[in-house]
Every structure is written in structure tokens, then in C-alpha cells.
């Protein structure tokens, strides 16, 4: 079984309806997690911590999919 790594990161967006960061240098990297459940818990904690700022967004990146190009992406992973 392959290892499934997940990166949780976020920051302030230029517009709450888009996925473009206001300042890439200010992206907050929460961490790398060995499974989706722990990544989700970290994402949820950061999302709740910043709930008062409508421009703040946190994301979960499926790093293991970068290593396995045969895996299709879901529609929720398509940006833009």
C-alpha cells in the first residue's frame, strides 16, 4: 500500500469567490499529514480559528497524487 500524504495550507485570498492568494509569501503551511483524517482535523481547526475573516481559506492538497499520475482528480480539485 502506498503512503498517502496530505498538505494543509492556507492564507488570505484576493476575493472570497476565487482561489487566488493575496500574498503568496504569507501562505500559512499548517503541515504534512500521513492520512486524510488527520489532515482534515488540522484543516478544520485552522478554518474555525479564522472563521471571522471571509478572505481566509485553508486547503488540503493530496500530495500522494503528485507521485501517482495515473490517479484521476476529482472535480473539487480543479481550480479556476
pLDDT of residue 65: 76
User: Residue 48 falls within a domain, yes or no?
Assistant: yes
User: Residue 61 falls within a domain, yes or no?
Assistant: yes
pLDDT of residue 24: 95
- Low-confidence spans in the chain with pLDDT less than 50: 78-80
pLDDT of residue 80: 40
User: Residue 1 falls within a domain, yes or no?
Assistant: no
Report in angstroms the alpha-carbon separations of 3 from 9, 42, 80. 20, 19, 28
Number of domains in the chain: 1
User: Residue 55 falls within a domain, yes or no?
Assistant: yes
Measured distance CA(17)–CA(1) in Å, rounded: 37
Chain centre to alpha carbon of residue 34: 14
User: Residue 80 falls within a domain, yes or no?
Assistant: no
pTM for the predicted model, two decimal places: 0.76
pLDDT of residue 79: 43
Q: Which domain CATH number covers 55? A: 3.30.70.2400
User: Residue 26 falls within a domain, yes or no?
Assistant: yes
Residue-range definition of the domain harbouring residue 69: 6-75
Amino acid at each position: 500500500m502506498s503512503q498517502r500524504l496530505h498538505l494543509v495550507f492556507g492564507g488570505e485570498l484576493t476575493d472570497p469567490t476565487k482561489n487566488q492568494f493575496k500574498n503568496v509569501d504569507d501562505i500559512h503551511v499548517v503541515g504534512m499529514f500521513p492520512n486524510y483524517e488527520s489532515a482534515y482535523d488540522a484543516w478544520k481547526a485552522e478554518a474555525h480559528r479564522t472563521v471571522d475573516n471571509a478572505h481566509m481559506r485553508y486547503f488540503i492538497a493530496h500530495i500522494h497524487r503528485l507521485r501517482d499520475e495515473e490517479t484521476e482528480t476529482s472535480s473539487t480539485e480543479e481550480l479556476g
